[in-house]
Structure 1
């Protein structure tokens, strides 16, 4: 009998192991199809390729837009003021919302509009917003806001629990929009004056691009609720509001790379003069590192600014990024770490004429898994503003030098390699 039980247990263990291996192969296969090795050859300058960039990232160029850049806590004054001016609809989507002063301000603004008869739809990531105050949520629902959580834990979401809604956007009356990196957490208030106040950037948009931002909101709202919305209160006719060309990257097609990944990789390959990146979580894939190296060989000035482990809200991510610093430095990429607070802006400028700004981090999670939105913008003035933000912070950064980096301590190297193993889920 004991022999029989032993054989049965061994058989069950072997079956379990085989199933685990099979599941691992399935996951690997799915990821492989979402992560092709991207390559491009082109001699044209990026300012002439807006239709190509939009098409490759599954969008269309919209002309006649205006953009206004807002930094740090000042952004919320504008956002809340514009929510208060809404006449028909307010659509708000974010990843992080924690109970606090800012959360209460937002809840008050959204609730007031709902009580005034405005249709208010709020979409929050269930993981990122798990610390949303119960009072704030109940207040909004009691006022008439529709508050929906993206991928809440349940048997129905087991297969998509790793997929998070990382977008940060708002659309007012279908006529104006906000896109960027700001979260509804008190740490985003202030002006990045100390380690308890973060730095960030978001855009206020008018013009036809607002339809694209509304479409991004509609994608996840419809997926979560089944509700589709139409009409002039959400998709009104939009006249030109400026002279800026913009396209939005947010789609995640089945069986191929997400639009935000294609966009970021493509512009690295197109750069002729410089690439300046500001990103809080910088863990490029090997092919991206190679693309940076090729850009440097073409004479491109490649610089990346990010928080250090002491400035980050997630030091494990910074250590995971450290694992590839040596290769990046050997490729000629200049790396700067900011130790004073979290630099949360997700920005890239190319050749002083084109910019990317939105919710996307420069890592596997954003490029392959999360729902994100990044705007590609051809506007020399905005690129200059974003580069000025880079220069403002880089003066207080520590630039990483190759020789000193190679001589960092064994404990530091151990943590870098250990946390890199988990880089796809950090």
Structure 2
């Protein structure tokens, strides 16, 4: 009897500890409300302010798709003269990983400051030999939130950002991961689609600051000087602000950005995202947008095209409500569409690392760029139009007739939507 009592007390203590840890790390999730008649092209100062940033002009943006991204990235790393800062979530040992490691090793041996920040969970397959070789060459390589007792309260918090900053003068942001599946041109199931952007201009300082945030958190090192924060002259005419802050007492800024953009759209919202599991308030916001005449479309991979079919099934759970609200849904069956893009009214774009789900909007460290430029929005909409030609549109009546096994999977996996 006494052993049962002690066992029960021990179980209660463990449960209490789990609840305390969960509550400490849990971000507030307020129901966001917006009342505005202004167009999104008039709201950049508001979007930047609400997301704890500042919109800066004078930037140039170039779109890089699929495997071609890496040819540009590797060439620019090879041309670096002072510093290379690299941050990513997913790195698996392979042809691409070894090429990238070789480029970083070469720059470190040339005497440059090379800092590499990898998520401990996403990059656990980077390869011990690769890590050893990089460190021996002088690369400063750290893992974000390694499994340890001191990190027990943050093990679910992952660094999902993809940022590269070279010489403090140019940067890359987007969705590309360091896995061989990202090579090629999305021609089949073994070669994924993705979009990143190359940036020049004053916005690079903001991206260097985003890298510094997690680097300082893991290492305590604060870097400064012209090697990393040089004076930046205008390089174009694009207005941008970077969104990455995750305050403890409010909704994360990537969530605020996307929700606000949906609520102020007047003409159209086109979304490309691999993991689309909107929360109820986002679904309501989409419905309100449709009712005021906004063309809302979402392009995503199907379960056969996804690298994680469970996520697609979790998203399916709310398809019926979305369709009844007038949202048009398209699934691409041929390969994984991994780009994280939203355009609004043909003039504004969000692009970065953030998926459209609870994990990205509530838990992960993410980065999105809010960009006001009609030319860029048109370029990203052209990507949407190219892939949607081979996608399958989901129709409400046919969707309601899907089998009970499919429905069971949808509802079962949705229970895990904050962990997927």
Q: Same fold (TM over 0.5)?
A: yes
Distance 1:18 1:402 in 2: 48
Mapped pair 1:126 → 2:102: no
Partner residue of 2:269 out of 261, 265, 275: 275
Partner residue of 1:327 out of 321, 325, 332: 321
5+ residue gaps in structure 1? 1-5
Pairwise CA distance, 1:79: 0.4
Paired residue for 2:161?
167
Paired residue for 2:334?
340
Distance 2:335 2:367 in 1: 24
Partner residue of 1:58 out of 46, 52, 55: 52
Distance 2:354 2:383 in 1: 18
Pairwise CA distance, 1:156: 1.3
User: Within 5 A, what are the aligned runs for 1:6-405?
Assistant: 6=1, 9-10=4-5, 12-13=7-8, 16-17=11-12, 20=15, 23-24=18-19, 27=22, 31=26, 33-405=27-399
Distance 1:399 1:326 in 2: 13
**Matched positions, count:** 420
Q: Quick one: structure 1 residues 230 and 159, their matched pair in 2 at CA, closer, same or farther if it must change by over 3 Å?
A: same
Q: Quick one: structure 1 residues 98 and 235, their matched pair in 2 at CA, closer, same or farther if it must change by over 3 Å?
A: same
Contact map agreement 1:289 1:328 (CA 8 A) in 2: yes
Contact map agreement 1:310 1:339 (CA 8 A) in 2: yes
Contact map agreement 2:298 2:329 (CA 8 A) in 1: yes
Q: Which moved more, 1:380-389 or 1:128-137?
A: 128-137
- Look up the SS of the partner of 2:152 in the other structure: helix
Q: Which moved more, 1:36-45 or 1:10-19?
A: 10-19
1:173-193, Cα deviation, whole Å (9 max, x unpaired):
000000000010000000000
Mapped pair 1:415 → 2:409: yes
5+ residue gaps in structure 2? none
Q: Quick one: structure 1 residues 111 and 11, their matched pair in 2 at CA, closer, same or farther if it must change by over 3 Å?
A: closer
Cα RMSD after superposing both structures: 1.4
Contact map agreement 2:21 2:153 (CA 8 A) in 1: no
Contact map agreement 1:96 1:125 (CA 8 A) in 2: yes
Contact map agreement 1:281 1:363 (CA 8 A) in 2: yes
Contact map agreement 2:116 2:141 (CA 8 A) in 1: yes
Distance 1:156 1:13 in 2: 26
1:201-229, Cα deviation, whole Å (9 max, x unpaired):
00000000000100000000000000000
1:22-71, Cα deviation, whole Å (9 max, x unpaired):
8447736863x521100101000000100000000110001100000000
Distance 1:21 1:319 in 2: 32
> What's the TM-score once normalised by structure 2's chain length?
0.98
Contact map agreement 2:25 2:153 (CA 8 A) in 1: no
- Look up the SS of the partner of 2:338 in the other structure: coil
1:123-158, Cα deviation, whole Å (9 max, x unpaired):
000100000022221221111101111111111111
Contact map agreement 1:281 1:362 (CA 8 A) in 2: yes
Distance 2:148 2:23 in 1: 24
Distance 1:28 1:153 in 2: 20
Paired residue for 1:3?
none
